[in-house]
A and B are shown apart, each in its own frame.
Chain A
Amino acid sequence: MTANKWNLSDFGFGVGLRSVHYNYILENNPSVDWFEVISETYLESGGRVRYVLDKIAERYPIVLHGVSLSIGSSDPVNFEYLKLLKALADRVKSPYISDHLCWTGVNAHNVHDLLPIPYTEESLKHIVNKAKQVMEFMERPLVLENVSTYAQFASSSMSEWEFHARLMEESQCGMLMDVNNIYVSAYNHDFDSKEFIDRIDPSLVCQYHLAGHTNKGTHILDTHNDHVIDAVWELYRYAYQRTGGRNTLLEWDEDIPEFDVVHEEALKAKKYRNEKPDPTMMNLPRPTIAPKMRLTPVEKNELVNSMSHKL
């Protein structure tokens, strides 16, 4: 176990704030350790969402989690966006800001998805440079999350974890380790999720994400629509044993149940921190050949992940 480089305090076990739970939280003050909020929802709204956020920020620690920084895009840093983000981070006293190691569009488009980066020296240099600009402007640590990906590029010259590790070393940003995303990408690209975790400097891990996913047989979709599966809990336990306590957050974005169900799921992390590991759980299943995907109404909901709905 090791302290994190920035001495960020461990808030404990949090839940992603979602609008379906606003009323419940305001009325019941549940004993949640902290909330993570999707920054883009609150950047410019002067309506109810802003009111609710201010109320919740009075009572709970808040960390901003963005989906449109697009650090991996070949486009330059968008300082107009950062200006809004900084004002919001100051307003809710977010100790750091997180976003994803991905790109969301190029030529000023936004396709509103977390797209995979070619892991090349060129990309690395470009992203290191952008990350430094972001941190200098934001005056707080930038923490980047590993994303679930469904494609890889032949032009990559290094693995995802090597890229992430070098990015952190060269830019001094931190990592939001999403253990579900490690699991999903390991399945989709057939790599060893433990190796991913082993290769990340534990002092640079600032936060964890946990979530449910949808296994389609040929690949896994990061749908955030269900309980966390046991194998992902085991990955969390494995990672936790290297890092010690870090802000831990459960994401649930589709088919969202009552607040208590989401909160209880987040609190399961406590148990996994304290119990002995089960090494057999670490053996990942391998992809099976399944029928080709067809677009059906049911599948719609499965396909749309955390970014799908209005932010």
Chain B
Amino acid sequence: MNRPTGVDDGSDMRELLCAVGARRDIEAYEQLFRHFAPRVKAYMARTGGNGQQAEELMQETMIAVWNKAERYDPAKGAASTWIFTIARNLRIDAFRRERRPEFDPEDPAFVPDDVAPADAELDMRETSEQLHHAIAALPAEQASLLKLSFFEDQSHSAIAQRLNLPLGTVKSRMRLAFDKLRAALARSGDVS
């Protein structure tokens, strides 16, 4: 995994996205666009679209970023995380016949967070870098499994069949990888 040096350490992207949300800053938006549009397009192409569909879904995603930027909360995660969830949901709408069931924080039966917002803020601010290094440090077979999970739109049993591995092995590698990533974030004073 390579990352262009000097372009982005995650915090720049957060600030740009906040500027779009707060002031409709078109220059900030253009910088975000130039960074994320090719990545979102690659994601759409990889998870099932042809070139034309991938372009359309990328544009839809980036317009949603513009429209919803006000709702982005930098304390809850990186800009890339927020944009990923928008792209993911648009992809499911476009390619699958299923809905994506989601919890609703406004629902009276919803159980609110048990951690004070101030602590939570401390949590997710600095995660990008740690996560980047932790993913880079994963053993190859765990990292590739993680990528397959996020980019192939296949169940873990389908991935296991394709790799000719027992499902239990796929699940345990996934658990090992996720444990390491969570531990890396926990060391940086984050979620446990």
A and B interact physically: no
A contacts, CB < 8 Å to B: none
B contacts, CB < 8 Å to A: none
